[in-house]
Amino acid sequence: MAFELAIVGAGVMAEAIARGIISAGTIQPDKIIAVDISPQRREYFENQLHIKTAEAAVDAARGAKIVLLCVKPFQMEQVLRDLMPGIDEKSLLISIAAGISSGFIEKTLAGGKRWRVIRAMPNTPMLVGRGMVAIAAGTNAKKDDLTAARKLFESSAKVIEVPEDKINAVTAVSGSGPAYFFFLTEQLIQAGIELGLTPDDARTLAIETAVGAAKMMSESSDSPADHRKRVTTPNGTTHAAISWMEQKDWNQITRDAIKAAAKRSDEMGK
């Protein structure tokens, strides 16, 4: 049977997307198939998400309305070649692989067909229904294709549309972004421990502060700078910390680090 959605690569991000789709009722589980070489991941999708699975991508994708490519960038070329015998240009291809352009996918599949490709960059907070996804249309993708991609992700994420040449910037800011916040939270916890707090107390304080701060930014039209300034009393404790960060060039280090992520995304596509 032909499926509405074939998910190629059943990793954590694919799981997050599938959970959102099923929870929202966007596509029913019996209309979805997931492909992975790992028996453990296939078993997980079957038992936990009640999604049919397969080991061979070509069979699963045959006739599928949407093929969601969730494989690692270095796997993409081989996966596309594996798909060639069964996939046709009626399928909408959506790729979440970092650094892999829609042009690469179109060119690899080729065969004289006008492949419709949407490139997407989601992030892991989709697992808790608070994800961020940017989508970009390939050469042959139509407005309806962008609408279909948006509908697929909106169940567990906020979706924006950007030109494809901005996707690497999205990858650096929001795709990799959760890791930056996790890293900062790690440092808050460790600093708390070094100041004499118990590990449990330091963890609770750091995580709940992060959650509260994110909620304040999310539910207000004020800028992050506005929020920061309201907490920062002149010559107070917060001022001491922020001043230290500025003296150590925290601002530029942070921006340079994010630019390094964007650069790496660009390199991965070459």
Query: What pTM was computed for the model?
Result: 0.90
Ranges of the chain with pLDDT below 70: 1
pLDDT value at residue 62 = 87
Catalogue the long-range contacts made by 124-127 (C-beta closer than 8 Å, 24 or more residues apart).
124/12, 124/13, 124/16, 124/178, 125/157, 125/178, 126/13, 126/16, 126/17, 126/20, 126/153, 126/156, 126/157, 127/12, 127/15, 127/16, 127/19, 127/156
pLDDT value at residue 37 = 93
| Residues 124-160 pLDDT 10s | 999 888 999 999 999 999 999 999 999 999 988 999 9
Per-domain residue ranges of the chain? 5-167, 177-268
The topology under which CATH files domain 5-167 is Rossmann fold (3.40.50)
For domain 177-268, the question of CATH label 1.10.3730.10 is answered with: yes
pLDDT value at residue 106 = 94
